[in-house]
Amino acid sequence: MSLILHPAVGRADPKPQRCPRTAVLISEGTWASSGDPTRPDPEGMLYPLVQAGTAQRSVWFNPYPAQFRTPVHPDDMPFDVSVAIGEQLLRSHIAQVHAQCPAAAIVLVGYSQGATVAGDVAATSLIPIRETELLADPRRVPAMAHDVGPSPDGVGVEVGAGARVGDI
């Protein structure tokens, strides 16, 4: 009896994949996204989190076009269109992380417009999200917030305006 071994066809590199224990996925605020997940805007509010990346924790910046059409920025896309693109990119990256590293804890962080993106995705994700941190959330409602530390007065800009920002 003989045994013939054939090389695997179409297989990826046989080296085991290194997975972080935690994947931190960041969506920045309006006009702060560089559009490149490997090169976040150094002026962005959440840029210091780049240094949080280690072998145990990966950091990814959502490359969505964080824009908001205003009289000063008439060529920018509407807020809701920008948010929808950000949500699609974030969902896609979550699925990729989960497929490649199913044991990795997923943490979402969003600032301002990015908080809308991260909050919407966290609320509807079918893949478990370990933690969501929303800073300057346009949709913040104090009675519904789960604040850590002091709870500031006031509501998010969308709530205060009585309409979704995309409708303004």
Q: Consecutive sets of 10 residues in the chain, 168 residues long: mean pLDDT of each?
A: 37 60 91 68 66 75 89 90 96 97 95 93 94 85 61 55 46
Tell me which residue of 120, 121, 101, 92 sits closest to 20, measured CA to CA.
Answer: 101
| Domain range list for the chain | 29-139
pTM equals: 0.75
- The one-character DSSP state at 119 is H
The pLDDT score that the predictor gives to residue 162 is 53
Beta strands in the chain (DSSP E): 22-27, 57-61, 105-111, 131-135
CATH tag, 29-139? 3.40.50.1820
Please count the CA atoms within 13 angstroms of the CA of 81 that sit on its side-chain side. Answer: 7
Per-residue confidence (pLDDT) for residue 42, from 0 to 100: 61
